[in-house]
């Protein structure tokens, strides 16, 4: 995991790593980040504070590591022979398969609640997580433009941000069972103007 400090000293116990991150995720569902402390996290995880400080520089780095599991999109092994709408629909389906359940929605809501409670965490999360997701999706859209499947007049980065924003709003605000059905006509409308 990229948030863990370099291995210094004795090897780390992966079980302790997961206990720490699980404790942070659970505590974030109950409290805002400013209410968390390294002492409280250590106690909840049943590990020593030294185990945490050996892995993380501080509370913010630890929180960001805990949020890293809330991945947005799986862009691997997509069939670029399909239409742009079919490709984006596949990305949406993958996301919904992973996160459109009570546990997955709770994880995403935890990330939203945590980042909106602190400008510092929001900026760090945006830089570490959101920007790479936007850039990856923009690169995919640019590839589709190169194949002449999308209009050259759209800006891939703005289109990527639009897709992520629309999807996030629908995912967070709609009842779980309505998300997929609500997204279909929205994506069809967007792509009818972009192709």
Q: What is the secondary structure of the chain as a DSSP string?
A: -TTSPP--SSPPPHHHHHHHHHHHHHHHHHS-GGG--HHHHHHHHTS-HHHHHTT-SSHHHHHHHHHTT------TT--TTS-HHHHHHHHHHHHHHHHSSHHHHHHHHHHHHHHHT-HHHHHHHIIIIIHHHHHHHHHHHHHHHHTTSS-TTS-HHHHHHHHHHHHHHHHHHS-GGGHHHHHHHHHHHHHHHH-
CATH class of 14-67: mainly alpha
What is the pTM (predicted TM-score) of this model? 0.77
Q: Give pLDDT, residue 1.
A: 40
Contact 17, 45 (CB under 8 A): no
What's the pLDDT tens digit per position in 118-143? Answer: 898 889 888 988 899 999 999 999 99
Mean pLDDT in order along the chain per 10 residues (195 residues): 49 85 87 89 94 90 81 84 94 88 81 85 88 94 95 96 92 91 94 90
Angle at CA of residue 172, ends 184 and 25, nearest 5°: 135
Q: Domains of the chain: which residue ranges? A: 14-67, 84-194
Q: Give pLDDT, residue 88.
A: 94
Determine the topology of domain 84-194 in CATH.
Tetracycline Repressor; domain 2 (1.10.357)
Q: Give pLDDT, residue 69.
A: 65
């Amino acid at each position: 995991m990229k948030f863990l400090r370099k291995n210094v000293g004795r090897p780390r116990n992966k079980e302790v790593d997961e206990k720490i991150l699980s404790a942070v995720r659970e505590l974030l569902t109950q409290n805002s980040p400013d209410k968390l402390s390294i002492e409280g996290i250590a106690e909840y995880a049943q590990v020593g504070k030294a185990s945490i400080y050996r892995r993380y520089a501080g509370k913010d780095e630890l929180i960001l590591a805990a949020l890293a599991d809330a991945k947005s999109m799986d862009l691997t092994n997509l069939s670029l022979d399909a239409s742009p709408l079919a490709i984006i629909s596949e990305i949406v389906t993958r996301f919904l398969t992973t996160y459109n359940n009570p546990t997955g929605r709770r994880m995403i809501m935890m990330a939203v609640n945590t980042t909106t409670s602190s400008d510092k965490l929001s900026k760090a999360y945006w830089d570490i997580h959101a920007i790479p997701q936007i850039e990856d999706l923009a690169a995919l859209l640019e590839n589709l433009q190169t194949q002449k499947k999308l209009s050259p007049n759209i800006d891939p980065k703005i289109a990527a941000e639009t897709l992520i924003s629309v999807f996030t709003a629908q995912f967070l605000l709609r009842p779980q069972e309505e998300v997929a059905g609500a997204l279909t006509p929205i994506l069809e409308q967007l792509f009818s103007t972009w192709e």
